Chains A and B, each alone.
Chain A
Amino acid sequence: MEAPRQTPAYRLIVTLGVAGFLSGLIIVSVYEWTRPKILAHQAESLRKAVLEVLPAAKTMRPLVEVDGAWRIAPEGGATAGAGTAGAESGSGDGASGSSTSAAADGADDGAAGGKEAAPGERAFAGFDDSGSLVGFAFEAEGGGFQDVIRLIYGFDPKAREIVGMRILESRETPGLGDKIYKDPKFVHGFDALAVDPEIVLVKGAGSGKENEVHAITGATISSRAVVEILRTSRAHWDDATPQDTSMDRTRVSEKEEVQGGS
């Protein structure tokens, strides 16, 4: 704006410094103000997804890794469940635990803390009203026709069945590949799907066995991708699912269930 004369360097530095400072101030205050709400939303949508793929479950707790073994996080620790997730995680503390580094916050009740898996391969245990274990929910991801497909599925270790599946994220072709979450026939094909000896994808009528998934006409690749993701995830978790839930004294019966099932 002024005459074309060299501006001293200190003025340039001061200007940018002041701009950076002001900008930082604004961003930090907005961040502090909105963070609890954002975390609450994230926890809530995760809880919804888990409870959706485990229809019998009412509450949930994440699985955490302690000394290389997977266990169910102790109650009262990091949990996104417990019915009133919104209010509870509004405090910021509970919510941060559920979405990032689980049990760390809740470790003060004496139980050993653990590490939750990275987003994308997290696992959760679901409990019904009476507090007994009804199954596990696993996040899983893998390559689809276009891009990575992320999904979550519920697994009943007693019946050795997948009891529900929901696609969390996919970019499959609209009209064809996106039927993996838009076609109710395909989605409900995972409501009672046996995993033994292994999940197979069939075209056409199939033979009516319980471990069969019917491929979507015109979206064979996307259907195959979903089955492949489930198979890989099963192979990974089948040995790793917690055998010992003794961290919680009230869950003795459920411990037997898990062991009897696998």
Chain B
Amino acid sequence: MAAEAKSPDRLYQEFTKGIWKENPIFVQVLGMCPMLAVTNTAINALAMGAATAFVLIGSSFLVSLLRKFVPKEVRISTYIVIIATFVTAADFLLQATVPDIHRELGAFISLIVVNCLILGRQEAFASRNSVGYAVVDAIGMGIGFALALFMLGSAREILGFGSFFGHPLFGPNYEPWVVMILPPGGFLMLGMILLVMNWFQQRKSRSRETMEKAA
């Protein structure tokens, strides 16, 4: 397993799969807890996405590096220790650099520890692949997660506050859709995005079918 050649083709695949084909939010539907709680504004979503990506990349790197030394009986505990380390570091870093965003995100930073996306990547990928692939996979997944959160956060902020990155878009008379900044709004928005994505998927496969029939 370790002696595989690093083909650029495979690197590219491992990188892009997290962004679209196996997107953690839209396809795997992992990490719902931070998704619901903190994607009420674009900036919060972005901060959460960045923090998660940081933890994911750091832990994937370490786990992959140590994969030969960690006995399988204690692997989960070791992963958790590694993940928790990076989460704590991310917590301090955010608190030191962007205290306002840190206050908004509150306990959800610490809760990255239990984000199943991260532990899932360690168990399913980083612990079985060489460091290069593990990091590329983590970067792809991290970007995919952050992008999905950002999409949700932007949509919810625009509807729920009438602003984007804090800049008002519609003038003072805008009536905010309060539900969008509450957790139910996260469910609704995610559902609508999934609806649109599936609809596109169906149309694509249907048109492919009709093309095959015609051929």
- CB-CB under 8 A from A1, the residues of chain B are 67-68, 72, 127
Spot the interface stretch: B89-97, B142-150, B199-207: B89-97
- CB-CB under 8 A from B176, the residues of chain A are 174-175
CA distance A11 to B69 in the complex (A): 9
Contacts A26-B85, A26-B89, A30-B88; A37 near B78 (Cβ below 8 A): no
A interface footprint on B96-120 (CB within 8 Å = 1, 0 otherwise): 1101000000000000000000000
Q: Which residue of A lies closest to B176 (CB)?
A: A175
B92, A30: Cβ atoms closer than 8 Å: yes
B70, A41: Cβ atoms closer than 8 Å: no
B11 close to A (CB within 8 Å): no
B193 close to A (CB within 8 Å): no
A20 close to B (CB within 8 Å): yes
Main secondary structure of the interface of A (DSSP, over half): helix
A7, B73: Cβ atoms closer than 8 Å: yes
- Closest chain-A Cβ to B122's Cβ sits at a distance in Å of 13
Interface residues on A, range: 20 to 34
- CB-CB under 8 A from B92, the residues of chain A are 30-31, 33-35, 38
Q: Which residue of A lies closest to B1 (CB)?
A: A1
Contacts A19-B81, A27-B85; A38 near B70 (Cβ below 8 A): no
B99, A45: Cβ atoms closer than 8 Å: yes
Specify which of B77, B95, B182 is in contact with A16 (CB 8 Å cutoff). Answer: B77
B93, A30: Cβ atoms closer than 8 Å: yes
**B interface residues (Cβ-Cβ under 8 A, vs A):** 67-74, 77-78, 81-82, 84-85, 88-89, 92-93, 95-97, 99, 127, 176, 178, 181-182
**A interface residues (Cβ-Cβ under 8 A, vs B):** 1-2, 7, 11-12, 15-16, 19-20, 22-23, 26-27, 30-31, 33-35, 37-38, 41-42, 45, 174-175
List 20 interface pairs A-B (beta carbons < 8 Å), by A numbering: A1-B72, A2-B72, A12-B71, A12-B73, A12-B74, A15-B70, A16-B77, A16-B78, A19-B82, A22-B85, A23-B82, A23-B84, A26-B85, A30-B89, A30-B93, A31-B92, A33-B92, A37-B97, A41-B95, A42-B99
